[in-house]
Amino acid sequence: MSEQKTEKVRALVLIGQEMTGTHGAPSTRAAIAEFLWTLPWVEMTITGDWDTLRWENVAPNDVVVCYAGSRRYACTAEQLAGLRKFVERGGGYVPLHFTTANANEEFLSFIGAEFVKHPPHGPFSVHVADSDHPITHGLPTIEIEDECYQSRYFDRDALHVLQTGRHEVGIDGEPSSWVREIGRGRLFYSALGHDARSFAHPGLRELLTRGIRWAARLEPVASSA
């Protein structure tokens, strides 16, 4: 396959100010930014303000990457309307990890799931469920120390599951990443990404690189697929 294009995509990166604990730690925030800065084809704006999702703010971008989440924080109707319009008109949306925790159920339904629980942080494996998709084609099983999410799905059949988690506590087949096509736009979600150690993992970095490129319609998705 030919080398990746050098065309830049305009990425709005929302790292929510509402996050606490490990998710909101400076080391986690720095690790996300560091990873994204390594992508030479990304022209990035980082913010902690959810109002950047309002249509007038989000419209100039090609893709939105969202690392946010709190069970007590609710995405507003105006913010969700802007994000929905952005995606339906062809934008890419990449929500990560705890972004599936929000007090606005319509927002969670847009992503496709609500986080419920996970076993203690520790090692587990993430297996490819669709080896034909551009994001996961050629990807190996990821062995990682992270949180193996278990979620409530609004319409599991509407999700194109790319990877599933397998954990020694008995979890096997729980969706770990998926994609959706919404209007003319694309959504890619990954449940991985608990802390700075996760974002240093080469397997996760490759997965997210491909997911962002796919959501932004930047082809080819991967040079080694």
Q: Count CB atoms within 10 A of the CB of residue 170.
A: 7
Measured distance between the N- and C-terminal CA atoms of the chain, rounded to whole angstroms = 8
Whether the per-residue pLDDT at 64 is higher than 70: the answer is yes
pLDDT tens-place string over residues 175-213: 999 999 999 999 999 999 999 999 999 999 999 999 999
Contact 32, 67 (CB under 8 A): yes
Q: pTM of the full predicted structure?
A: 0.95
CATH of domain 9-115+177-215: 3.40.50.880
Structure tokens, 168: 């020694």
pLDDT tens-place string over residues 144-182: 999 999 999 999 999 999 999 999 999 999 999 999 999
Name the band, by pLDDT with cuts 50, 70 and 90, for residue 222: confident
Three-class SS state of 215: helix
Strand residue runs (E) in 88-205: 92-96, 113-117, 122-128, 142-146, 150-153, 160-166, 172-182, 185-190
Domain map of the chain by residue range? 9-115+177-215
Q: In whole angstroms, what is the distance from residue 129 CA to residue 3 CA?
A: 26
Q: Count CB atoms within 10 A of the CB of residue 130.
A: 15
pLDDT tens-place string over residues 12-45: 999 999 999 999 999 999 999 999 999 999 999 9
